[in-house]
Amino acid sequence: MRLKLPIAQFLKAQRRWGKTLVKASTASRKLISKPRKTRPKKSKLTEISAFGSNPGNLRMLTYVPPQLPDSAPLVVVLHGCLQTAHAYDEGSGWSMLAKRHGFALIYAEQSQANNPNRCFNWFQPHDARRGSGEALSIRQMVTRMRRTHSIDPARIFITGLSAGGAMVSVMLATYPEVFAGGGIIAGLPYGAASGMRQVMPAMKRPQPRSAKQWGDLVRSASSYTGLRPTVSIWHGTEDRTVAASNAAALLSQWTNVHGVSEEVFSQTSVAGHRRRAWSNRKGDTVISLYLIDGMGHGTPVRRTKAQTKTGGAGPFMLDAGISSSLHLAKSWGLVRRKAASRRT
């Protein structure tokens, strides 16, 4: 294991983190009705076992819709702690969107061998650095997908929840040339922690850094000097697991990276929730922030009829009346007009 802490301290910190997440999971279930007993659904995802050296020891699962069009977009999805790729897909609806609108998916999945709570190790320097660990494994998955399918290299996106959201921050910082945009849901800024001991404090309150200091962390993660990925930040105002102050730190980090003023933005209401947007000199939206009033820790979804019949969307999938997956797909230009009006 790649750890500097004594094993006893590491396990103690892991148990504390696990208890916090279990409490959040219990709270999230209160927002959805008790599920009925149903047969387990067959996963729509297909595992790819050979995709590179895989130094982070992650699983690669994919969804490729029938008759994938040429130069199709690709979305990488990273689940949260205590979750699996299948569970996150069922709750978030990404494969349904991919089938309807013609794009491919990669799900990276964490194992308990890597992390007892199935959290991506965004806080371990080896896993959060370009060219090594889990970050390189995810990069290799993208390379494998491009080699086997007709993927448009200019339309590759990434999104994730909680530890998965923090890992999105890692990927946008360390491989900015790969991704056109990212969606960070209840996540943390890049560089928020550099070791297990710093994780819990960072989740509760990010370190006091200036916008430039946050931005410098991203700029130092690679030698890339080109256009940076767009960033969409989603956070519940009542998140007790990853404090909403992390959304503010993310905003400071990425406004600085994009060279836009944090004070100049437009604000609209989407499905009753606040959306703020920051644009560059060309007028293109480079950063958006969705603050979901009253929501705790999880991915905001709009519960479908099918989910209503089975009782809900699952732990950490919170029915907020707005589908973050759909709105991310729309903002990335993935939703085809003929199907845009259909509810998801």
Tell me which residues are annotated as active site: 162
* Token reading at 15: 């148990």
Report the distance separating Cα 265 and Cα 203, nearest Å.
26
* Token reading at 317: 């999938």
DSSP 199-231: HHHHHHS-----HHHHHHHHHTT----SPPPEE
Distances (CA, A) of 38 to 86, 192, 200, 309, 324: 16, 40, 36, 10, 26
Kindly give the pairing relationship between strand 59-63 and strand 266-270. unpaired
Report the distance separating Cα 181 and Cα 170, nearest Å.
13
Phi, psi of 255 (to 5 degrees): -65, -40
Residue partners of 269: CB distance under 8 A and separation at least 6:
275
For residue 164, which amino acid is it?
G
Is the distance from CB of 253 to CB of 196 less than 8 angstroms? no
What does the buried/exposed string (b/e) look like for 164-193 if buried means 16 or more CB atoms within 10 Å of the residue's CB?
bbbbbbbbbbbbbebbbbbbbbbbbbbbbb
Report the candidate in 131, 75, 124, 132 with the shortest Cα–Cα distance to residue 98. 75
Terminal CA-CA length for the chain: 41
Phi, psi of 200 (to 5 degrees): -60, -45
Q: What length does the chain have?
A: 344
